[in-house]
Amino acid sequence: MKFLKDNPLGKQIPIRQSRAYKGKLVTDEGTIPENSITGTAVSVIGNTVLAETQTEKGKEFIECTVSGRVISPHKNSTLVAVGDVIIILPEESPDEVEIRKGRVIAVEQRRTKISRRAVGKSTSEHVIASNFEILLILASTFQPSYNKRFIDRLIIACEIGGVKPVIGLNKTDLAKDMTFFDEDLYIYSNIQVPIYYFSATEGTGIDEIIELTKDRTTLFFGPSGVGKSTLVNRLIGDYAQRIKEISERTQKGQHTTSFVKMLDLPYGGRIIDSPGVREFAMWDVDKLNLAMHYHDFDEYYLNCKYLPCTHTHEPGCAVLKALEEGKIDAERYESYVNILETLES
Ligand SMILES: Nc1nc2c(ncn2[C@@H]2O[C@H](COP(=O)(O)OP(=O)(O)OP(=O)(O)O)[C@@H](O)[C@H]2O)c(=O)[nH]1
Ligand SMILES: [Zn+2]
Protein backbone atom coordinates (compact mmCIF):
# COMPACT_ATOMS: atom_id res chain seq x y z
CA MET A 1 0.00 0.00 0.00
CA LYS A 2 1.30 3.49 -0.86
CA PHE A 3 0.96 6.27 1.68
CA LEU A 4 0.56 9.97 1.23
CA LYS A 5 3.32 11.82 3.11
CA ASP A 6 3.10 15.29 4.69
CA ASN A 7 -0.64 15.58 4.65
CA PRO A 8 -2.09 18.53 6.55
CA LEU A 9 -3.50 16.34 9.31
CA GLY A 10 0.00 15.14 10.12
CA LYS A 11 -0.78 11.46 9.86
CA GLN A 12 -0.55 8.90 7.12
CA ILE A 13 -3.64 8.35 5.02
CA PRO A 14 -3.64 5.41 2.65
CA ILE A 15 -4.18 6.40 -1.01
CA ARG A 16 -6.98 4.42 -2.56
CA GLN A 17 -5.28 2.06 -4.97
CA SER A 18 -8.05 -0.38 -5.67
CA ARG A 19 -10.81 -0.11 -8.20
CA ALA A 20 -13.72 -2.39 -8.74
CA TYR A 21 -14.27 -3.88 -12.18
CA LYS A 22 -17.30 -6.09 -12.71
CA GLY A 23 -17.00 -7.61 -9.27
CA LYS A 24 -13.21 -7.91 -9.40
CA LEU A 25 -10.75 -5.89 -7.38
CA VAL A 26 -8.22 -4.17 -9.62
CA THR A 27 -5.07 -2.80 -8.01
CA ASP A 28 -1.93 -1.06 -9.25
CA GLU A 29 0.51 -3.07 -7.22
CA GLY A 30 0.92 -6.28 -5.32
CA THR A 31 3.21 -9.25 -5.00
CA ILE A 32 3.43 -11.98 -7.60
CA PRO A 33 3.76 -15.51 -6.17
CA GLU A 34 6.89 -17.43 -7.17
CA ASN A 35 5.04 -20.30 -8.80
CA SER A 36 3.23 -18.01 -11.24
CA ILE A 37 3.89 -18.16 -14.97
CA THR A 38 3.69 -15.66 -17.80
CA GLY A 39 1.44 -16.21 -20.79
CA THR A 40 -0.36 -14.46 -23.62
CA ALA A 41 -4.14 -14.19 -23.75
CA VAL A 42 -5.17 -15.86 -27.03
CA SER A 43 -8.91 -15.71 -26.52
CA VAL A 44 -11.14 -14.03 -23.97
CA ILE A 45 -14.77 -14.98 -23.49
CA GLY A 46 -16.49 -13.47 -20.48
CA ASN A 47 -14.39 -14.29 -17.42
CA THR A 48 -12.50 -17.09 -19.13
CA VAL A 49 -9.15 -16.49 -20.76
CA LEU A 50 -7.34 -19.05 -22.84
CA ALA A 51 -3.65 -18.35 -22.31
CA GLU A 52 -0.69 -19.66 -24.21
CA THR A 53 2.55 -20.27 -22.33
CA GLN A 54 5.93 -21.66 -23.29
CA THR A 55 7.09 -24.59 -21.19
CA GLU A 56 10.06 -26.93 -21.55
CA LYS A 57 7.67 -29.28 -23.38
CA GLY A 58 6.75 -26.55 -25.86
CA LYS A 59 3.59 -24.56 -26.16
CA GLU A 60 0.90 -25.11 -23.53
CA PHE A 61 -2.62 -23.72 -23.24
CA ILE A 62 -3.99 -22.85 -19.81
CA GLU A 63 -7.64 -22.14 -19.19
CA CYS A 64 -7.78 -19.23 -16.77
CA THR A 65 -10.47 -17.48 -14.83
CA VAL A 66 -10.37 -13.79 -14.06
CA SER A 67 -11.61 -13.44 -10.52
CA GLY A 68 -10.78 -11.94 -7.15
CA ARG A 69 -7.88 -9.51 -7.18
CA VAL A 70 -6.09 -8.57 -10.41
CA ILE A 71 -3.02 -6.34 -10.60
CA SER A 72 -3.24 -4.08 -13.65
CA PRO A 73 -1.79 -0.73 -14.71
CA HIS A 74 -4.82 0.06 -16.91
CA LYS A 75 -7.58 2.29 -15.62
CA ASN A 76 -11.17 2.32 -16.94
CA SER A 77 -10.20 -0.24 -19.50
CA THR A 78 -10.81 -3.83 -20.56
CA LEU A 79 -9.33 -6.00 -17.84
CA VAL A 80 -7.89 -8.69 -20.11
CA ALA A 81 -7.76 -8.31 -23.90
CA VAL A 82 -6.46 -10.73 -26.52
CA GLY A 83 -2.72 -10.12 -26.88
CA ASP A 84 -2.25 -9.08 -23.25
CA VAL A 85 0.74 -10.49 -21.42
CA ILE A 86 -0.71 -11.98 -18.26
CA ILE A 87 0.65 -13.55 -15.08
CA ILE A 88 -1.10 -16.78 -14.22
CA LEU A 89 -1.27 -18.75 -11.01
CA PRO A 90 -1.76 -22.34 -12.19
CA GLU A 91 -3.91 -24.74 -10.20
CA GLU A 92 -2.47 -28.03 -9.02
CA SER A 93 -3.61 -30.63 -11.51
CA PRO A 94 -2.71 -34.21 -12.40
CA ASP A 95 -0.08 -34.44 -15.15
CA GLU A 96 -2.36 -36.13 -17.64
CA VAL A 97 -4.94 -33.32 -17.96
CA GLU A 98 -5.06 -31.96 -21.46
CA ILE A 99 -5.53 -28.35 -20.46
CA ARG A 100 -4.42 -27.05 -17.06
CA LYS A 101 -6.44 -24.47 -15.22
CA GLY A 102 -5.31 -21.29 -13.54
CA ARG A 103 -6.20 -17.79 -12.47
CA VAL A 104 -5.10 -14.47 -13.98
CA ILE A 105 -3.41 -12.52 -11.21
CA ALA A 106 -1.81 -9.67 -13.18
CA VAL A 107 -1.82 -7.94 -16.56
CA GLU A 108 1.26 -6.22 -17.94
CA GLN A 109 1.35 -2.79 -19.57
CA ARG A 110 0.13 -2.89 -23.19
CA ARG A 111 2.75 -2.03 -25.78
CA THR A 112 0.23 -1.28 -28.54
CA LYS A 113 -3.54 -1.64 -28.84
CA ILE A 114 -6.69 -0.87 -30.77
CA SER A 115 -9.40 0.62 -28.60
CA ARG A 116 -12.86 1.97 -29.05
CA ARG A 117 -15.28 3.53 -26.63
CA ALA A 118 -17.14 0.82 -24.76
CA VAL A 119 -20.72 0.48 -25.93
CA GLY A 120 -23.04 2.60 -23.81
CA LYS A 121 -20.25 3.82 -21.54
CA SER A 122 -18.53 6.96 -22.69
CA THR A 123 -15.87 6.79 -19.98
CA SER A 124 -14.43 3.37 -20.47
CA GLU A 125 -12.07 1.93 -23.00
CA HIS A 126 -12.81 -1.27 -24.87
CA VAL A 127 -9.50 -2.76 -25.98
CA ILE A 128 -10.15 -5.05 -28.93
CA ALA A 129 -6.62 -6.47 -28.91
CA SER A 130 -3.16 -5.50 -27.72
CA ASN A 131 0.55 -5.99 -28.39
CA PHE A 132 0.43 -6.36 -32.16
CA GLU A 133 2.06 -4.51 -35.04
CA ILE A 134 -0.40 -4.24 -37.92
CA LEU A 135 -4.13 -3.66 -38.31
CA LEU A 136 -5.37 -5.12 -41.58
CA ILE A 137 -8.54 -3.15 -42.27
CA LEU A 138 -10.57 -5.54 -44.38
CA ALA A 139 -12.93 -4.21 -47.02
CA SER A 140 -14.46 -5.70 -50.14
CA THR A 141 -15.26 -4.41 -53.61
CA PHE A 142 -18.82 -5.63 -53.40
CA GLN A 143 -21.26 -7.16 -50.89
CA PRO A 144 -20.57 -5.44 -48.60
CA SER A 145 -19.21 -2.29 -50.19
CA TYR A 146 -16.85 -0.39 -47.95
CA ASN A 147 -17.39 2.70 -45.88
CA LYS A 148 -14.50 5.15 -45.91
CA ARG A 149 -15.65 6.80 -42.69
CA PHE A 150 -15.23 3.47 -40.95
CA ILE A 151 -11.75 3.10 -42.48
CA ASP A 152 -10.84 6.63 -41.30
CA ARG A 153 -11.87 5.80 -37.75
CA LEU A 154 -9.68 2.74 -37.71
CA ILE A 155 -6.71 4.65 -39.09
CA ILE A 156 -7.03 7.15 -36.23
CA ALA A 157 -7.36 4.34 -33.67
CA CYS A 158 -4.12 2.87 -35.08
CA GLU A 159 -2.27 6.12 -34.60
CA ILE A 160 -3.49 6.39 -31.01
CA GLY A 161 -2.67 2.76 -30.25
CA GLY A 162 0.76 2.68 -31.93
CA VAL A 163 -0.26 0.22 -34.67
CA LYS A 164 0.40 0.42 -38.42
CA PRO A 165 -2.79 0.51 -40.54
CA VAL A 166 -3.03 -1.35 -43.84
CA ILE A 167 -6.12 -1.68 -46.04
CA GLY A 168 -6.96 -5.05 -47.58
CA LEU A 169 -9.50 -4.89 -50.40
CA ASN A 170 -10.95 -8.35 -51.02
CA LYS A 171 -13.19 -9.77 -53.77
CA THR A 172 -11.22 -8.14 -56.57
CA ASP A 173 -12.55 -10.96 -58.78
CA LEU A 174 -15.98 -9.32 -58.62
CA ALA A 175 -14.73 -5.96 -59.86
CA LYS A 176 -14.91 -5.29 -63.58
CA ASP A 177 -12.77 -2.20 -63.41
CA MET A 178 -10.15 -1.79 -60.70
CA THR A 179 -9.33 1.79 -61.73
CA PHE A 180 -12.44 2.91 -59.85
CA PHE A 181 -10.95 1.53 -56.62
CA ASP A 182 -7.49 2.92 -57.35
CA GLU A 183 -9.02 6.37 -57.63
CA ASP A 184 -11.52 6.00 -54.82
CA LEU A 185 -8.83 4.87 -52.36
CA TYR A 186 -6.09 7.14 -53.68
CA ILE A 187 -6.19 9.37 -50.60
CA TYR A 188 -4.94 6.49 -48.43
CA SER A 189 -1.75 5.99 -50.40
CA ASN A 190 -1.27 9.73 -50.00
CA ILE A 191 -1.30 9.41 -46.21
CA GLN A 192 1.00 6.37 -46.26
CA VAL A 193 -1.62 3.71 -45.68
CA PRO A 194 -0.77 0.85 -48.07
CA ILE A 195 -3.55 -0.96 -49.92
CA TYR A 196 -3.45 -4.68 -50.67
CA TYR A 197 -5.79 -5.96 -53.36
CA PHE A 198 -6.68 -9.64 -53.21
CA SER A 199 -9.27 -12.30 -53.76
CA ALA A 200 -9.59 -14.78 -50.92
CA THR A 201 -11.53 -17.26 -53.06
CA GLU A 202 -9.35 -17.03 -56.19
CA GLY A 203 -6.08 -16.72 -54.32
CA THR A 204 -4.83 -13.66 -56.18
CA GLY A 205 -2.79 -11.24 -54.08
CA ILE A 206 -2.47 -13.78 -51.25
CA ASP A 207 1.34 -14.00 -51.53
CA GLU A 208 1.52 -10.31 -50.68
CA ILE A 209 -0.72 -10.84 -47.64
CA ILE A 210 1.58 -13.68 -46.55
CA GLU A 211 4.59 -11.42 -46.92
CA LEU A 212 2.84 -8.67 -44.94
CA THR A 213 1.85 -10.91 -42.04
CA LYS A 214 4.97 -13.11 -41.86
CA ASP A 215 6.78 -12.94 -38.51
CA ARG A 216 4.48 -10.23 -37.18
CA THR A 217 1.19 -10.07 -35.32
CA THR A 218 -1.66 -8.66 -37.39
CA LEU A 219 -5.23 -7.92 -36.33
CA PHE A 220 -7.82 -8.70 -39.03
CA PHE A 221 -10.74 -6.34 -38.65
CA GLY A 222 -13.72 -5.45 -40.79
CA PRO A 223 -17.47 -5.76 -41.26
CA SER A 224 -19.23 -9.07 -41.55
CA GLY A 225 -19.13 -10.61 -45.01
CA VAL A 226 -15.87 -9.08 -46.27
CA GLY A 227 -14.35 -12.55 -46.45
CA LYS A 228 -12.34 -12.62 -43.24
CA SER A 229 -13.00 -16.31 -42.54
CA THR A 230 -12.23 -17.20 -46.14
CA LEU A 231 -8.90 -15.38 -45.87
CA VAL A 232 -8.05 -16.88 -42.46
CA ASN A 233 -8.82 -20.36 -43.75
CA ARG A 234 -6.65 -19.81 -46.78
CA LEU A 235 -3.73 -18.68 -44.61
CA ILE A 236 -4.15 -21.20 -41.80
CA GLY A 237 -6.67 -23.89 -42.64
CA ASP A 238 -6.91 -26.70 -40.09
CA TYR A 239 -5.13 -24.87 -37.29
CA ALA A 240 -7.81 -22.16 -37.16
CA GLN A 241 -10.42 -24.85 -36.78
CA ARG A 242 -8.46 -26.55 -33.97
CA ILE A 243 -8.07 -23.41 -31.87
CA LYS A 244 -11.76 -22.68 -32.37
CA GLU A 245 -12.60 -26.13 -31.06
CA ILE A 246 -10.31 -25.83 -28.03
CA SER A 247 -11.77 -22.43 -27.17
CA GLU A 248 -15.31 -23.68 -27.54
CA ARG A 249 -14.65 -26.77 -25.44
CA THR A 250 -12.91 -24.98 -22.59
CA GLN A 251 -15.18 -21.98 -22.60
CA LYS A 252 -18.39 -23.91 -22.96
CA GLY A 253 -21.73 -22.39 -22.20
CA GLN A 254 -20.58 -18.99 -23.36
CA HIS A 255 -21.36 -17.20 -26.57
CA THR A 256 -18.62 -18.66 -28.73
CA THR A 257 -19.76 -18.01 -32.26
CA SER A 258 -17.94 -14.72 -32.43
CA PHE A 259 -14.98 -13.78 -30.34
CA VAL A 260 -11.52 -12.33 -30.78
CA LYS A 261 -8.79 -14.96 -30.98
CA MET A 262 -5.10 -15.14 -31.74
CA LEU A 263 -3.88 -17.78 -34.18
CA ASP A 264 -0.42 -18.92 -35.27
CA LEU A 265 0.48 -18.63 -38.92
CA PRO A 266 2.16 -21.74 -40.34
CA TYR A 267 4.83 -19.59 -42.04
CA GLY A 268 5.68 -17.59 -38.87
CA GLY A 269 3.80 -14.76 -37.21
CA ARG A 270 0.31 -14.60 -35.83
CA ILE A 271 -3.05 -13.14 -36.66
CA ILE A 272 -5.77 -11.91 -34.37
CA ASP A 273 -9.13 -12.77 -35.85
CA SER A 274 -12.08 -10.64 -34.77
CA PRO A 275 -15.83 -10.86 -35.36
CA GLY A 276 -17.44 -8.59 -37.95
CA VAL A 277 -17.88 -5.05 -36.69
CA ARG A 278 -19.63 -2.09 -38.28
CA GLU A 279 -19.64 0.51 -35.55
CA PHE A 280 -16.53 2.02 -34.10
CA ALA A 281 -16.86 4.81 -31.51
CA MET A 282 -13.65 6.76 -31.05
CA TRP A 283 -11.65 6.49 -27.87
CA ASP A 284 -9.09 9.00 -26.60
CA VAL A 285 -9.81 11.69 -29.20
CA ASP A 286 -11.31 15.10 -28.50
CA LYS A 287 -12.68 17.91 -30.64
CA LEU A 288 -9.43 19.85 -30.54
CA ASN A 289 -6.99 17.09 -31.44
CA LEU A 290 -9.10 15.22 -34.01
CA ALA A 291 -7.76 17.25 -36.97
CA MET A 292 -4.19 16.31 -36.01
CA HIS A 293 -5.02 12.73 -36.93
CA TYR A 294 -6.05 13.77 -40.46
CA HIS A 295 -2.60 14.00 -41.96
CA ASP A 296 -3.92 15.32 -45.26
CA PHE A 297 -4.86 18.45 -43.23
CA ASP A 298 -1.32 18.79 -41.82
CA GLU A 299 -0.24 21.55 -44.15
CA TYR A 300 -3.25 23.70 -43.31
CA TYR A 301 -4.63 23.42 -39.80
CA LEU A 302 -1.91 25.45 -38.11
CA ASN A 303 -2.58 28.40 -40.43
CA CYS A 304 -6.14 29.00 -39.27
CA LYS A 305 -6.74 32.58 -38.15
CA TYR A 306 -8.14 31.65 -34.76
CA LEU A 307 -6.65 28.82 -32.76
CA PRO A 308 -8.05 26.57 -31.46
CA CYS A 309 -10.21 26.05 -34.54
CA THR A 310 -12.68 23.24 -35.16
CA HIS A 311 -12.45 23.90 -38.94
CA THR A 312 -16.21 23.99 -39.34
CA HIS A 313 -17.41 27.61 -39.28
CA GLU A 314 -14.55 29.82 -38.09
CA PRO A 315 -13.62 32.82 -40.26
CA GLY A 316 -10.14 32.58 -41.75
CA CYS A 317 -10.04 28.78 -41.37
CA ALA A 318 -7.21 27.44 -43.52
CA VAL A 319 -8.71 23.93 -43.65
CA LEU A 320 -12.02 25.24 -45.03
CA LYS A 321 -10.08 27.31 -47.56
CA ALA A 322 -8.08 24.25 -48.67
CA LEU A 323 -11.35 22.32 -48.96
CA GLU A 324 -12.87 25.02 -51.18
CA GLU A 325 -9.78 25.02 -53.35
CA GLY A 326 -10.01 21.24 -53.74
CA LYS A 327 -6.73 20.65 -51.91
CA ILE A 328 -8.47 18.58 -49.24
CA ASP A 329 -10.61 15.62 -50.29
CA ALA A 330 -14.31 16.40 -49.67
CA GLU A 331 -15.08 12.91 -48.37
CA ARG A 332 -12.21 13.05 -45.91
CA TYR A 333 -13.50 16.38 -44.65
CA GLU A 334 -17.01 14.92 -44.30
CA SER A 335 -15.58 12.02 -42.36
CA TYR A 336 -13.79 14.49 -40.07
CA VAL A 337 -17.04 16.36 -39.38
CA ASN A 338 -18.87 13.08 -38.88
CA ILE A 339 -16.47 12.06 -36.09
CA LEU A 340 -16.34 15.59 -34.67
CA GLU A 341 -20.11 15.55 -34.17
CA THR A 342 -19.88 12.38 -32.09
CA LEU A 343 -17.32 13.83 -29.68
CA GLU A 344 -18.52 15.42 -26.49
CA SER A 345 -15.55 17.66 -25.77
N1 LIG B 1 -16.36 -13.53 -55.10
C2 LIG B 1 -15.74 -13.61 -53.94
N3 LIG B 1 -16.42 -13.99 -52.85
C4 LIG B 1 -15.75 -14.06 -51.68
C5 LIG B 1 -14.37 -13.77 -51.58
N6 LIG B 1 -14.01 -13.93 -50.28
C7 LIG B 1 -15.11 -14.32 -49.61
N8 LIG B 1 -16.16 -14.41 -50.45
C9 LIG B 1 -17.54 -14.79 -50.13
O10 LIG B 1 -18.11 -13.81 -49.28
C11 LIG B 1 -18.99 -14.43 -48.33
C12 LIG B 1 -18.56 -14.04 -46.93
O13 LIG B 1 -17.28 -14.61 -46.67
P14 LIG B 1 -16.77 -14.97 -45.20
O15 LIG B 1 -15.37 -15.42 -45.32
O16 LIG B 1 -17.75 -15.84 -44.51
O17 LIG B 1 -16.87 -13.51 -44.57
P18 LIG B 1 -16.57 -13.03 -43.09
O19 LIG B 1 -15.95 -11.71 -43.22
O20 LIG B 1 -15.82 -14.05 -42.33
O21 LIG B 1 -18.03 -12.87 -42.54
P22 LIG B 1 -18.59 -13.17 -41.07
O23 LIG B 1 -18.32 -14.61 -40.80
O24 LIG B 1 -20.04 -12.84 -41.19
O25 LIG B 1 -17.84 -12.24 -40.16
C26 LIG B 1 -18.90 -15.93 -48.59
O27 LIG B 1 -19.98 -16.28 -49.40
C28 LIG B 1 -17.59 -16.09 -49.33
O29 LIG B 1 -17.57 -17.19 -50.19
C30 LIG B 1 -13.68 -13.38 -52.77
O31 LIG B 1 -12.48 -13.09 -52.79
N32 LIG B 1 -14.42 -13.30 -53.90
ZN1 LIG C 1 -9.56 25.87 -39.05
- How do residues 108-148 score in pLDDT, each as one tens digit? 999 999 999 988 767 899 999 999 999 999 999 999 999 99
Give the pLDDT band of residue 269 (cuts 50, 70, 90).
very high
> SS in 3 state form for the chain?
CCEECCCCCCCCEECCCCEEECCEEEECCCCCCCCCEEEEEEEEECCEEEEEEEECCEEEEEEEECCCEEECCCCCECCCCECCEEEEEECCCCCCCCCEEEEEEEECCCCCEEEEECCCCCCCEEEEEECCCEEEEEEECCCCCCCHHHHHHHHHHHHHHCCEEEEEEECHHHCCCCHHHHHHCHHHHHCCCCEEECCCCCCCCHHHHHHHHCCCEEEEECCCCCCHHHHHHHHCCHHHHHHHHHHHHHCCCCCCCCCCEEEECCCCCEEEECCCCCCCCCCCCCCCCHHHHCHHHCCCHHHCCCCCCCCCCCCCCHHHHHHHCCCCCHHHHHHHHHHHHHCCC
* Closest C-alpha to ligand 1, atom 1: 171
- List the residue whose alpha carbon is closest to atom 24 of ligand 1: 224
> How does pLDDT run across 88-113, given as a tens digit for each residue?
999 987 767 778 899 999 999 999 99
ipTM for the assembly? 0.98
Residues 233-251, mean pLDDT to the nearest whole number: 69
Q: Confidence class of residue 250 from pLDDT cuts 50, 70 and 90?
A: low
Question: Which of 170-174, 238-242, 323-327 is predicted with the least confidence, judged by mean pLDDT?
Answer: 238-242
The response to whether residue 36 sits with its C-beta less than 6 Å from ligand 1 reads: no
Class in CATH terms, 290-342: mainly alpha
Distance from Cα 279 to the centre of ligand 2, integer Å: 28
Q: Return the CATH architecture of domain 113-273.
A: 3-Layer(aba) Sandwich (3.40)
Instruction: Give the residue, by CA position, lying nearest to ligand 1 atom 7.
Output: 227
Domain boundaries, the chain: 13-107, 113-273, 290-342
Fold type of domain 13-107 = OB fold (Dihydrolipoamide Acetyltransferase, E2P) (2.40.50)
Cα 260 to ligand 1 centre (Å): 18
